[in-house]
Amino acid sequence: MKGIILAGGNATRLYPLTATTSKQLLPVYDRQMIFYPLNTLIKAGIKEILVVVAPDHSGQFLNLLGSLFKNYGIRIVFEVQKVPAGLPQAFVLGEKFIDDDSATLILGDNIFEDDFSQDIKEFKSGGKVFATKASDPERSGVVKFDDKGKAIQIVEKPKKWISDFVITGLYVYDNRVIQAAKDLKPSERGEYEIVDLHNFYLEKNELDVKVFDGEWLDAGTFDSLLEAGQVVKDKKLYENFDPIVQEAIAEFNEQLKKISKKMLTK
């Protein structure tokens, strides 16, 4: 299993905060946002992770993550996404990185209270996505279930009500996702849609949709960014980090302190 974090894009909804840095490098409580999706992947035992970044901020990601986990058996590589063209592009950009393996894609601004480690570790084939109830489902990909709880329809931003359950930003697919992403056609808004990949597997009866109840935070606006930090603090989600991530962050912080002291004594 390979891991991919999609951390590109311009994040215009967070201007001017993102005029000088990436959204995924903004703080959520006591650490940068990027560490939350990283933790999701690392807790699931994933050792190779591709971070897809925008050209303007690629150096900042490299400075933070380039050697952060080198002593912990985790390899992080980077791919520059020059022009955002939809979530499925991550699988095309990561084709050589994924190679013959399956892949877990997580959006760089998604924070989950639930631990999906076992779901990812036990994944065999097909596709697996994660759904939760939302008060404004029309803003996302919406999934409809039959009476037995089986997903029967997924629609991106439906104009008519389908259900209250939305697909969140964590997706697990087998290797066929690469070719499926290549074969997609742009939607009316000119982007390749992740919902089309969901439906690729749904039509083959190979898509598992897991419903969860814990917090799902999409920190892409001023309000949701503030809320995310508050939820992390109140629910102590910072205590749910894998020891590897905690130790790597602590080691990095100590290194920065030593460098700062050296600079002050010059």
Collapsing DSSP to helix, strand or coil, 109 comes out as coil
Inter-residue contact 29 to 65 (CB < 8 Å): no
The total number of residues shown for the chain amounts to 266
Half-sphere exposure (Cβ direction) of 1: Cα atoms closer than 13 Å? 23
For residues 125 and 56, give the distance between their C-alpha atoms in angstroms, rounded to a whole number: 36
The predicted structure's pLDDT at residue 189: 80
Query: What is the pLDDT, as a whole number, of residue 187?
Result: 86
The pLDDT score that the predictor gives to residue 13 is 84
Q: Count of CB atoms within 10 A of residue 264's CB?
A: 7
15 sits in which H/E element: none
Cβ proximity of 49 and 78 under 8 Å = no
Which domains occur in the chain, in start order? 2-127+167-265 (3.90.550.10)
| One pLDDT digit (tens) per residue for the chain, 266 residues | 999 999 987 777 888 888 889 999 999 999 999 999 999 999 999 999 999 999 988 999 999 999 999 899 999 999 999 888 899 999 999 999 999 999 999 999 999 999 999 999 999 999 999 999 998 888 889 999 999 999 999 999 898 999 999 999 999 999 999 999 999 998 888 889 999 999 999 999 999 999 999 999 988 889 999 999 999 999 999 999 999 999 999 998 888 877 777 666 66
